[in-house]
């Protein structure tokens, strides 16, 4: 796997990422963008996205993992983060990614983890491009209901009113995320996507599986696999290996004609 830095300017913010290329690149290839979870970054826990990029590049796929605004090494403040902003930015990152000579702009796929899964399907549904597949891991659509009830992961959001921010893993989350969640419907945002969607969800995920199941009601080509004993971050070797196999299979199965056969 060849690794190169990636950056693009979006709404006056520099978003930074990692471009992972197959060892031998011969012309434009199928391409995947990885979307990390809330408060995370492009590496993800215990190198999850690094290992996933390796699995994909081993099969001839180009991969971009980038830090969303206010996350990782990208510009912006976590205080200002919101799903609507992330979706808007991801469209522009896709444009920059698709313009790279190694990327087949007609063979783009999205893979998202946690809140990144919610955003991935929202991007696919609203993109002027045809996204050939989406994979949603540990889909965290629960955030709308949690924030609506005044909590995140069991902790009160009242501090936003009293001290001006919510302490999320040592970062200041501001009111923008809360206000945005009150007007964001993850299922309505997904409904326009007509392509193949794979949802993987663990039985030990703190997000109840019903939040993934609801996507089956609005997506025409969605499949949900519930994985026994898997947690939210897929933190065992067997579960990581399963995710890698399933993501690679999903991308290759729906790559443009000839790509899947050539790189499988």
Q: Rounded to whole angstroms, how far apart are CA atoms 31 and 143?
A: 29
Res 262: pLDDT: 38
Res 120: pLDDT: 98
CA atoms within 13 A on the CB side of 189: 19
> For the chain, what percent of residues have pLDDT higher than 70?
97
Reference 199, options 248, 144, 106, 134; nearest CA is 134
Tally of domains in the chain: 1
**Weakly modelled stretches of the chain, pLDDT under 50:** 260-264
Q: Kindly give, in sequence order, each residue whose CB lies less than 8 Å from that of residue 258, ignoring residues fewer than 6 positions away.
A: none
pTM to 2 decimal places: 0.95
Res 26: pLDDT: 74
Task: Report CA torsion sign: 137, 141, 142, 143.
Answer: positive
CATH number, domain at 254? 3.40.50.1820
- Its domain, for residue 187, covers 2-263
Res 204: pLDDT: 98
Residues 104-142 have pLDDT tens digits of 999 999 999 999 999 999 999 999 999 999 999 999 999
Res 24: pLDDT: 84
């Amino acid at each position: 796997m060849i690794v190169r830095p990636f950056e693009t300017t979006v709404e006056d913010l520099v978003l930074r990422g990692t471009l992972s290329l197959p060892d031998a690149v011969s012309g434009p290839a199928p391409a995947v963008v990885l979307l990390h979870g809330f408060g995370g970054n492009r590496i993800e826990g215990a190198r999850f996205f690094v290992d996933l990029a390796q699995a994909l590049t081993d099969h001839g796929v180009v991969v971009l993992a980038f830090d969303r605004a206010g996350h990782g090494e990208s510009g912006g403040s976590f205080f200002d983060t919101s799903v609507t902003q992330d979706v808007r930015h991801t469209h522009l990152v896709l444009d920059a990614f698709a313009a790279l000579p190694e990327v087949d702009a007609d063979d783009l796929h999205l893979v998202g983890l946690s809140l990144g899964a919610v955003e991935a399907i929202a991007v696919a549904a609203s993109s002027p491009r045809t996204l050939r597949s989406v994979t949603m891991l540990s889909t965290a659509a629960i955030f709308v209901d949690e924030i609506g009830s005044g909590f995140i992961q069991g902790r009160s959001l009242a501090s936003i009113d009293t001290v001006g921010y919510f302490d999320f893993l040592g970062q200041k989350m501001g009111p923008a995320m809360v206000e945005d969640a009150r007007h964001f419907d993850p299922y309505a945002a997904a409904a326009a996507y007509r392509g193949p969607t794979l949802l993987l969800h663990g039985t030990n995920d703190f997000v109840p599986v019903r939040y993934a199941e609801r996507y089956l009601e609005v997506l025409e080509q969605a499949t949900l696999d519930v994985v026994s004993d898997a947690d939210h971050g897929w933190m065992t070797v067997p579960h990581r290996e399963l995710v890698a196999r399933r993501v690679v299979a999903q991308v290759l199965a729906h790559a443009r004609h000839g790509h899947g056969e050539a790189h499988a």
